[in-house]
Structure 1
Amino acid sequence: MALPRKALIAVTSAHAPLYPDGQETGLFITEALHPFNVFRKAGFEVDLVSETGSYQADWLSLQKDWLNDEDRKIWEDHSSEFRSKLDHILKPGDINYDKYGLFFASAGHASLIDYPDAKGLQSIASHMYTDGSIISAVCHGGAIFPGIIDPKTGKSIISGKEVTGFTTKGEEEEGVLDTIISWKRPTIEKAAAEAGATYVAPPGPWAAFAHTDGRIVTGANPASAHVTADDAVKAFDKL
């Protein structure tokens, strides 16, 4: 049976001070926007969902270096399809998982806070994986993987798989590793290892890089959101 050409983008509900002047992390805008654009261009219908049906934008992701003029125009236009869906973001209870063929966990450092315990999102992804869907994540989105269980094995769907995600070196370069430790959350590299996966590092913390292992497609950082979504579509089209 062909899977529905419909993608579900998960968004973090969390926010917390992270940056030097106390500005907060939340959803890293382009890590949801770029995949949204890729999926729409590839003929997918796309919905956005968060664990609590709420979100907050990450401060850094709204700065000029990270949100170009074209992306900013979409973000600031509440009638654009992307912004409208974000403004009316769904909750797990609104989602019928068998209507989707691709799950994509967008990110922002805030994902480290809520994704590990996001039982609603994890359950959707687990059901989708069991049904043969593509499961994808970019940057800190991989924080959701340890809780996405494969009922066949009772282990995380990334156990025995190769994945990438934001590097611990990148956390050090950003000066946020101590904050993450204070949240009592593992880095993406550590979370992958603890879930039984092999972490594949990008050429550098900020290099665009994605990795596919079967039906698991992962990307390393904000610059990788587009290529990760592209690779997720390629993996979907091979099913």
Structure 2
Amino acid sequence: MKIKINFKYILPLFFITAFTTLGAQEELKGTKQKLDIVIDDLGDANLAVTTRFNASQWDFFKKTVGTNQAYLKRQMIKGMPKYFLSDFKYEEEPMDRSFIFLMKAFAVAQPDDNGKWKAELDMKDPDITKLNDQTFMLKLNMVTNGMLIEQEQTIHLPEKAKNAKIEKDSFGSAVLTYQYKSGASSPILSYGGILLILAGLGLFVMNLRKPKSASV
């Protein structure tokens, strides 16, 4: 089964929502995001989204949606309707002007009959680096409505995964493949894999630009 890994839309939508009222005259810079995806033996994934703001962004975030964790959770669920999400946890680092959103997504990856796992990156030539046979890093720079978001994604495969590499499908798009035999897979079927998580986080970012909707 092909699993698409593409998180480049998650944060942009999240931030567009959060900072609508900052005004078009202010170019939003200095927003950094780190996304860690840890895939387990069953193909489920633990997600950690770390977002770091500049001073003005952090101040606005804390005055609006940053104080409403229930709203943040609802927007995350709304952005990824085809996933069963659980184990939500929200943490803040005020001195670093950042927050971490933790959650679990079920059935992010599925194997084929031969124990080969495929993950479509949905990109022609991604800036992806293989750190070791279980870890890949992808870097993206996005500009949305004058807002620069620097995103670093790290994909952690199961510990015993091997022969991991980047290949290309029949359309020339990058595909992450690896061999792993776990003997089981998540009972919850995937509908598009990590690509949908990425798109969902994008919607999460956009919806945060509507502070009037941030009430519980």
* TM-score in terms of structure 2 length: 0.27
Q: Higher strand proportion, which one?
A: 2
Larger Rg: 2
Given the two structures, how large is their TM-score scaled by the length of structure 1? 0.25
The structure in which a higher percent of residues are helix is 1
